[in-house]
Amino acid sequence: MSLFIVNTTSSPLRAEPAHEAEQISRLLLGESFRVHERSEDQRWALGLGPDGYQGWLRAWHLTEVDVWPAAQLCVTQRWSHAYERPDSRSQILLDLSFATRLRPGGSEVDGFIPWQLPGGAEVWTPVQDLEPLGGDMETLLTRGLRLLAIPYEWGGRSSAGLDCSGFVQLLFSTLGQSLPRDAWQQAEHGQALSLSDPRLWQRGDLLFFGAERIDHVGLWMGEDRLLHASGRVQVEGLAPRGKLIGSHRPALAALRRLNLGQE
């Protein structure tokens, strides 16, 4: 399969090669996509994103590369920008979603860092919007709270809209941690913990919900609070026996703790 890189702010991954098809995920600028088939009209590419999720991307949202250097920094604000020059009054070439990764291509100038877009153009982003990949659970929760009120979007995985597992996946990616795309897949990672004793839970633990199968995930904030994407990114109270206050969602189905530093 040929290696391509997403060359726009974000691109919807669809179940079929059509704009009206279901959005199943979304890939961010700079993320890899391995193409193994194209639509008959060559306008869509079928392939795998970095998390192994398969779907169709618009072909012109992709730039073919031989290799793509590993990123060192990521956007940790809700939005940032790629400017033409190290000056906020210069032209904005692209918006940058939370969790967009980039690799610096030179020294800081006037509070901006240079880097290259997939097509090779040099752009500049404010240093204040960026942080090195990594951190602990408190870092993760601090970053997550910056996304409060972003609307829920089925298949959403950017600052424009998030679903529950996309929210969790993006947050952990800013720590340099890889998680699968869906909640039921994420529930198979990390250390399983008892659901019966919240006194043993720690901030940043993943709480999973579902009836016949797991279909929702959020982050434990302590003090009976859950940070999750449901309607919007919000902090919601957790009632006794694992029910979300004011919600008809099934009670807790699983609890997992991820060991940072191990993908």
240 band by pLDDT with thresholds 50, 70 and 90? low
Q: Write out pLDDT tens, residues 41-70.
A: 999 999 999 999 999 999 999 999 988 888
Choosing from 61, 81, 189, 216, which is the catalytic residue?
A: 216
22 band by pLDDT with thresholds 50, 70 and 90? very high
CB 136 within 8 A of CB 257: no
pLDDT for 24 beyond 50: yes
Amino acid letter, residue 31 = E
Count the residues in the chain.
Answer: 263
Q: What is the mean pLDDT of residues 218-235?
A: 94
CB 154 within 8 A of CB 165: no
169: three-class secondary structure by DSSP: helix
228 as an active site residue: the answer is yes
CB 117 within 8 A of CB 7: yes
pLDDT confidence of residue 43: 97
Q: What is the mean pLDDT of residues 4-20?
A: 97
Domains of the chain from N-terminus onward: 2-64 (2.30.30.40), 73-132 (2.30.30.40), 137-257 (3.90.1720.10)
Q: Give the sign of the dihedral formed by CA 190, CA 191, CA 197, CA 202.
A: negative
Closest CA to 131 of 83, 205, 62, 80: 80
**HEC profile for 27-89?**
EECCCEEEEEEECCCCCEEEEECCCCCEEEEEHHHEEECCCCCCCCEEECCCEEEEECCCCCC
CA 12 → CA 15, 16, 61, 180, distances in Å? 10, 11, 10, 17
Q: 70: exposed, middle or buried (C-beta count within 10 Å: 0-12, 13-18, 19+)?
A: exposed
Q: What is the DSSP letter of 191?
A: E
Choosing from 61, 81, 189, 228, which is the catalytic residue?
A: 228
247 band by pLDDT with thresholds 50, 70 and 90? low
pLDDT confidence of residue 252: 81
Residue 3 bridge partners (DSSP):
34
pTM: 0.94
Q: Write out pLDDT tens, residues 119-177.
A: 899 999 999 999 999 999 999 999 999 999 999 999 999 999 999 999 999 999 999 99
- C-alpha to C-alpha distance for 207 and 252, rounded to whole angstroms: 7
Tokens representing residue 66 in the block: 């031989």
Choosing from 61, 74, 81, 164, which is the catalytic residue?
A: 164
Q: Write out pLDDT tens, residues 64-122.
A: 998 888 899 999 999 999 999 999 999 999 999 999 999 999 999 999 999 999 989 99
- C-alpha to C-alpha distance for 148 and 137, rounded to whole angstroms: 17
Identify the residue with better confidence: 30 or 224: 30
- Cα R_g (the chain), whole angstroms: 19
Tokens representing residue 135 in the block: 């951190």
pLDDT for 263 beyond 70: no
49: three-class secondary structure by DSSP: coil
What are φ and ψ of residue 44, in 5° steps?
Answer: -130, 150
CB 113 within 8 A of CB 129: no
Q: What is the mean pLDDT of residues 169-190?
A: 96
Closest CA to 218 of 190, 195, 252: 252
What are φ and ψ of residue 28, in 5° steps?
Answer: -95, 160
pLDDT for 204 beyond 70: yes
pLDDT for 246 beyond 70: no
Identify the residue with better confidence: 244 or 89: 89
